[in-house]
Amino acid sequence: MSQGFLKSSVGKKVLMGLTGLFLISFLLVHCFINSLIFFNDGGLTFNTAAAFMAHNWLIRAGELVLFAGLILHVIQALILTLENRKARPVGYAKFDGAANSSWYSRSMGLLGTLLLIFLIIHLIHFWVKSRFTGLPGEDANGNENLYAVMQFTFSIGIVVVIYALSMISLAYHLLHGFQSAFQSLGLNHKTYTPLIKKAGVAFSLIIPFIFALMPVLMYFGVIK
């Protein structure tokens, strides 16, 4: 593929869509593994899975690709946003955006920024501890106790609120992003696009809801 393509307006959007779909696939894996806490077994199953993720070389290599994908998505978004601002130097005095598009489709930059701030907080809470500063001991199975970090983190009210609100940002970001990625890749079809849109809405509501449920249920002691 020529370099010119990736610099074109279409190429940039294709890259945005590809990295977006890649991040979406990560969300699915992340949500699945974290859902193991719903066994409510003191985190034994979850810790087993977390230990596997932490020590499997393929997963660790995938982690690097994931960070690369995320950084590419963010940088590309910044470039697109700056270019788009330049394309309309004088704005409208009266703008009725609601008449022709959804607010979240016009606010992907804002929603993305909120998510980036959340991600930094989230990485400090878990990733930095699990990879660098160390976890507080082992569980009954002798696995590193990442679950204990979850319990501690989600015992703080304000943290739970930030996590829950961030999942609302994620839901809206996905609500536009999921189907938009397919459109950017040129995948628009009379039969399949309505299905993709429905799948996108379901994904955007279900995954962030499950994620939000974790800190909330832990805070209220439903999951111990």
Partner 1 sequence: MGSGHGTELNLTLKVWRQKNAKAAGSFETHQLTGISTDMSFLEMFDVLNEKLIHEGKEAIAFDHDCREGICGACSMYINGRPHGPKNLVTTCQLHMRSFKNGDTIVVEPWRSAAFPVIKDLAVDRTAFDRIIASGGYVSVNTGNAQDANNILIPKEAADEAFSAAACIGCGACVAACKNASAMLFVSAKVSQLALLPQGQVERKERVKKMVAQMDEEGFGNCTNTGACEAECPKGISLENIARMNRELTAASLK
Beta bridge partners of 138: 144
Does residue 100 touch partner 1 according to CB under 8 A? yes
Q: Is residue 77 classed as helix, strand or coil in its secondary structure?
A: helix
CA distance 128 to 177: 28
Q: Residue 6 or 206: which CB sits closer to partner 1?
A: 6
Neighbours of 221 (CB within 10 A): 9
Among the candidate windows 8-16, 33-41, 67-75, 159-167, which touches partner 1 by CB under 8 A?
8-16
Interface pick for partner 1 out of 71, 188, 195, 209 (rule CB under 8 A): 188
Does residue 12 touch partner 1 according to CB under 8 A? yes
Among the candidate windows 32-40, 96-104, 118-126, 150-158, which touches partner 1 by CB under 8 A?
96-104
Which tokens sit at 20?
A: 């977006």
**37 to 76, contacts with partner 1 by CB under 8 A?**
none
Interface pick for partner 1 out of 69, 176, 204, 211 (rule CB under 8 A): 176
CA distance 110 to 126: 24
Does residue 88 touch partner 1 according to CB under 8 A? yes
Interface pick for partner 1 out of 58, 64, 89, 191 (rule CB under 8 A): 89
Q: Residue 36 or 185: which CB sits closer to partner 1?
A: 185
DSSP conformation letters of 119-184: HHHHIIIIIHIIIII--S-B-TTS-B-HHHHHHHHTTSHHHHHHHHHHHHHHHHHHHHHHHHHHHH
Of 141, 139, 148, 125, which is closest to residue 218 (Cα–Cα)? Answer: 148
Burial of 132 from C-beta contacts in 10 A (0-12 / 13-18 / 19+): exposed
Does residue 23 touch partner 1 according to CB under 8 A? no
Among the candidate windows 98-106, 127-135, 164-172, 207-215, which touches partner 1 by CB under 8 A?
98-106
Q: Residue 36 or 80: which CB sits closer to partner 1?
A: 80
Is residue 191 within 8 Å of residue 139, measured between CB atoms? no
Does residue 11 touch partner 1 according to CB under 8 A? yes
Smallest separation, CB 93 to partner 1 (Å) = 6
- Which positions touch partner 1 (CB under 8 A)? 1-2, 4-5, 8-14, 80, 83-84, 86-97, 99-102, 105-106, 108, 176, 179-180, 183-188
